[in-house]
Amino acid sequence: MTPETIEAYGIRLRADRPADAADLAAACADPLTQRFLPGIPDPYTEESARWWITEGAPAAWTAGGASYAIADPATDRLLGAVGLSNPMPERRQLEIGYWVAPWARGRGVATAATRALAERAFATGAARLELLTDQENTASQRVALAAGFRPEGVRRSAGTARNGDRYDLAAWVRLADDPPGPTARPLPDLPAGRLTDGVVTLRRLGPADADPLHRLHTLPEVMANRVPPVPPTRESIERRCRLAESHWLAGRSADLAILDAATGTPAGGCALVYDEPCTGQAMLGYSLLPEARGRGLATRTVGLLAGWAFDIGLARLWAGTRPENVPSQRVLEKVGFRREGLLRGRLPGPDGTRTDSVLYGLLAADRAGAR
């Protein structure tokens, strides 16, 4: 590949120019750019920008990759950058990456640039493109989906922070014969960002939910149903809240906060874990804070979540309870779940013991018949 200008999808990819230095410095000094690109200088100055334009970008081409400025076709102003790195010729594989300046975000610039460069890479012999993102960088993961990339898992400790700490990276991949996108999502976003019946509201779990979620999962009766049945650390709950959107985008789970619709106060948590996509089956779980119990909120929650699951195409939901957890079994039965059997010793219990689990199932056909 050579640094020829590419015009596609409403953007221009071209070589970096000395006139870009001021905009390049401003964009790369932005806090969000600095957060998710720990390898760039901090502080990022016009001197840093000039080095990139004269030395860094040409070196990317020499190493077998690519470096493009993303520009506005009408004004030629810098909007961001996109490039290819880490070439593996024996695998015909490269890594694609991008950033967008603050003044150009929210306009589809990254998606357009990623599509355009991916097409050029495939046209010139690449067979596989990898896109690696910080798991908390969900905006970048949404770009990956829009540009036809598919989730392949998590690279453990593959990233290095500025302080030397290691962190995980989400891996997204597009092959030369994959459709150009967007990639279909097994778990789409909730309509208008929430589900509600006017009494209870469900929305995606987020960082602000760490306090009530930690309180919920350290209650003895809730902790008894965890796997394993031990109290979670505050750090693990904070991480769960931070990564909930990433797991949702990858189609692994829909992790939700339960709120009192009238007051907006936390009432508990629920989750849909897509454990068997090939058969259209997911596991459903839920728990309420003590002050929210006895008001029918759990039944409403399960009904809302089951209805959404079937609306997006799932065929079967299952849930498990401990044999003695009669209130939870009544909730499931009110929604239409049927008892399907007892799984002996299914779950780890305290002190090395094993705990039985009562299995309940609900089919999309059951729900349709009830309606």
In this predicted structure, the answer to whether residue 243 has a pLDDT above a threshold of 90 is yes
Percentage of residues in the chain with pLDDT exceeding 90?
93
What is the predicted pLDDT for the residue at 175?
Answer: 98
What is the predicted pLDDT for the residue at 350?
Answer: 84
Name which of 121, 16, 13 is nearest 59 in CA terms.
Answer: 16
Q: Mean pLDDT across the stretch 268-286?
A: 97
**Residues 279, 241 within the same domain:** yes
- What separation in angstroms does the CA of 7 have from each of 73, 119, 159, 184? 8, 12, 32, 26
Assess if residue 90 is contained within a domain: yes
**Residues 235, 359 within the same domain:** yes
pTM, two decimals, is 0.94
**Residues 111, 161 within the same domain:** yes
Q: Report DSSP letters for 190-215, one per residue.
A: PGGGEEE-SSEEEEE--GGGHHHHHH
294: left (phi over 0), alpha (psi -120 to 50) or beta: left
What is the predicted pLDDT for the residue at 267?
Answer: 98
pLDDT band for position 367 (cuts 50, 70, 90)? confident
Among the ranges given (142-156, 178-192, 344-358), the one the predictor scored with the smallest mean pLDDT = 344-358
What is the predicted pLDDT for the residue at 115?
Answer: 98
**Residues 33, 171 within the same domain:** yes
The domain boundary, picked from 175, 208, 240, lies at: 175
Pair of tokens at residue 280: 């259209």
pLDDT band for position 227 (cuts 50, 70, 90)? confident
In this predicted structure, the answer to whether residue 9 has a pLDDT above a threshold of 90 is yes
Assess if residue 181 is contained within a domain: no
User: If DSSP codes are grouped into helix, strand and coil, which group holds residue 262?
Assistant: coil
CA distance 252 to 149: 16
**pLDDT (tens digit per residue) in 120-143:** 999 999 999 999 999 999 999 999
Q: What's 86's domain CATH number?
A: 3.40.630.30
Assess if residue 180 is contained within a domain: no
The domain boundary, picked from 175, 207, 231, lies at: 175
Q: Mean pLDDT across the stretch 58-78?
A: 97
What is the predicted pLDDT for the residue at 74?
Answer: 97
Give the range of the structural domain holding residue 30, as residue numbers without chain letter. Answer: 6-175
Assess if residue 154 is contained within a domain: yes
In this predicted structure, the answer to whether residue 1 has a pLDDT above a threshold of 60 is no
Q: Mean pLDDT across the stretch 28-50?
A: 97
In this predicted structure, the answer to whether residue 335 has a pLDDT above a threshold of 90 is yes
| Paired residues of 254 in beta bridges | 272
What is the predicted pLDDT for the residue at 368?
Answer: 63
Among the ranges given (185-189, 227-231, 330-334), the one the predictor scored with the smallest mean pLDDT = 227-231
Average pLDDT, the chain: 96
What is the predicted pLDDT for the residue at 351?
Answer: 84
Give the total number of structural domains in the chain: 2
pLDDT band for position 2 (cuts 50, 70, 90)? low
The domain boundary, picked from 175, 206, 224, lies at: 175
**pLDDT (tens digit per residue) in 306-324:** 999 999 999 999 999 999 9
**Residues 168, 25 within the same domain:** yes
CA distance 115 to 237: 36
**pLDDT (tens digit per residue) in 339-348:** 999 999 999 9
**Residues 224, 103 within the same domain:** no
Assess if residue 107 is contained within a domain: yes
In this predicted structure, the answer to whether residue 370 has a pLDDT above a threshold of 70 is no
**Residues 25, 163 within the same domain:** yes
**Residues 212, 240 within the same domain:** yes
What is the predicted pLDDT for the residue at 229?
Answer: 87
Assess if residue 158 is contained within a domain: yes
pLDDT band for position 225 (cuts 50, 70, 90)? confident
**Residues 354, 208 within the same domain:** yes
**Residues 195, 310 within the same domain:** yes
Other CB atoms within a 10 A radius of the CB of residue 289 amount to 19
**Residues 43, 157 within the same domain:** yes
- What separation in angstroms does the CA of 340 have from each of 12, 101, 304, 334, 357? 58, 54, 22, 15, 11
Assess if residue 183 is contained within a domain: no
Assess if residue 184 is contained within a domain: no
Name which of 355, 362, 354 is nearest 335 in CA terms.
Answer: 362
User: CB-based burial of residue 278 (10 Å sphere; 0-12 exposed, 13-18 middle, 19+ buried)?
Assistant: exposed
What is the predicted pLDDT for the residue at 111?
Answer: 98
**Residues 360, 334 within the same domain:** yes
